Amino acid sequence: MIPSLSWKNIWRNKVRSLVVIGAMTFGIFGGLFTWAIYVGMTESRVKEALTKEVAHIQIHDLKFLDNPEIGLKLPDPAGIVRFAEGLPGVQAAADRLKIVAMINSSAASSGVNIYGIDPEKEKRVSELYTSVFDSLTLTAKLKLTDPAVIAAYLKDSTGSWFGSTQRNPVIVGETLARKLKLKINSKVVLTFQSADGNLTGGSYRVCGIYRIDNTLFEEMNVYVRKPDLATLAMLPPEQAHEVAIFMKDGKLMNTAIQSLKSEYPDLEVMSWKMLLPDVAMLSDLVEVSLVVIMIIILAALGFGIVNTMLMVVLERVKELGMLMAIGMNKTRVFTMIILESVLLCLTGAGIGMIFGAIVIEIFNKQGIDLSAFAQKGMEAWGFNAVIYTSLSWTYYLLVAMLVIITGLAASAYPAWKALKLNPADALRTE
């Protein structure tokens, strides 16, 4: 009956209670939606990093990342790939050549990393190929039938993932393509130091332009066929500088890393968090800072609730005196007041969470398009300009717990004041 009485007491002053509930609703909704935006952004960044940039794990020679010399090759890359693919949770592994080079077009030049890959194997560890649109697929996807429109799309098409029959195809990022004024079929020259220590260069044709959410990555990384690069670099075709591993179960990543380190103690085995510490830090920092933001929101709301509950106690001094007179002990009086506060908070938070969940789900599907305002800036940092909000149920649970704590904390002082009442004096109150 005490919970029922507490609930009914909330509605004695409907306007006041609705104001408090409204404040809690908007506060929680605001907090959750902010959370969902940042979590969505972070998840999107991490996903992009894993699926299109670095994969989950990379293996190199110990000195390679500090000084990427062409001679710092991996011993038995095929064996490493086989071992890695046998580990639990691993989806696939692929070996790559990685050479620091200059890329030159008729307009400009730029420093890049050249990745020599097996295009088909690479598809198993990276989704970068999905960011290179095949022109025919694109027109089919869009169901275009007008030849003029199709021609316009083909003119602006981004080519294909090594579908060209040309000699020495290269795939470049859109940012680099704009910098070097490249289009499909444009000619570039890649210049680097080969295995024999001489400067060498080769002519390549752009067969595809990829576009991801990271303009810096687009500017720095180009992809060629491994045999083509190996020939130019005077390296045996089976050699590699890097093995990239993609996990189908991210939770087993650390276990896989331990196994690889044990098997290859002389090689550097790094997780994506070590390869991209800024992204890893972002992921951790966002979580902590958003919890702090939510606590601040609830603390601010809590002060309002303290005020409300103090008014509730002061208005009902006589009634509280009566309740104590007829035999309601202090524990029950305390519980009744605490419950009023907690139920008030949970009602507002519940509505805020439902509202928040609906809005978050809507924007999870259609996204918040900030491209008109901040596309360049966001992509410079590796973020998609369209944010897809995301929030798992554990966050809602955390918010519910914080709300209960707020309700308890906010009503503790008013409830204590109620306990201090002398029933005889309280009954005399006008």
Partner 1 sequence: MNIIEINNLVKIYDDRKSVPVTAINGITLNFREGEFTTIVGPSGSGKTTLLNMLGGLDEPTSGKILIDQVDLSQLKSREVIDFRMHNIGFVFQAYNLIPVLTALENVEFIMHLQGKPKAERQQRARELLDQVGLGDRLHARPGKLSGGQQQRVAVARALASKPKFILADEPTANLDSKSAETLLDIMEKLNHNEKITFIFSTHDARVVAKAHRVITVEDGLVRSDVDYPEH
Task: By CB under 8 A, name the binding residues for partner 1.
Answer: 1, 5, 8-9, 11-12, 318-319, 322-330, 332, 422-424, 427
CB of 1: closest distance to partner 1 in angstroms?
5
Residue 258 C-beta: closest distance to partner 1, Å? 59
Nearer to partner 1, 14 or 143 (CB): 14
Residue showing tokens 């940012």: 175
Measured from the CB atom, is 8 or 181 closer to partner 1? Answer: 8
Q: In sequence order, which residues have a C-beta less than 8 Å from that of residue 47 and are 6 or more positions away?
A: none
Least Cβ distance, residue 393 to partner 1 (angstroms): 34
Q: How far is the CB of 329 from partner 1 (least distance, A)?
A: 5
Residue 136 burial (CB < 10 Å; 0-12/13-18/19+)? middle
9 vs 51, which CB is nearer to partner 1?
9
Shortest spacing between CB 304 and partner 1, in angstroms: 23
**Strand partners of residue 210:** 173
Count of C-beta atoms within a 10 Å radius of residue 146: 8
CB nearer to partner 1: pick between 324 and 360: 324
Helix, strand, or coil (residue 90): strand
Give the C-alpha separation, 65 to 209, whole Å: 26
CA atoms of 40 and 359, how far apart (whole Å): 13
Choose between 261 and 330: whose C-beta lies nearer to partner 1.
Answer: 330
CB atoms within 10 A of CB 101: 23
Q: Of the two residues 240 and 324, which places its CB atom closer to partner 1 in the complex?
A: 324
Residue by residue, DSSP assigns 250-294 as GGGHHHHHHHHHHH-TTEEEEEHHHHSHHHHHHHHHHHHHHHHHH
Q: How many residues does the chain have?
A: 430
Q: Closest separation between CB of residue 17 and partner 1, Å?
A: 12
Q: Find all residues with CB under 8 Å of 93, minimum gap 6, and list them.
A: 80, 81, 84, 85, 125, 243, 244, 245, 246
Rank residues 404 and 427 by Cβ distance to partner 1 and give the closer one. Answer: 427
State the Cα–Cα distance between residues 314 and 320, nearest whole angstrom. 10
| CA diameter of the chain | 102
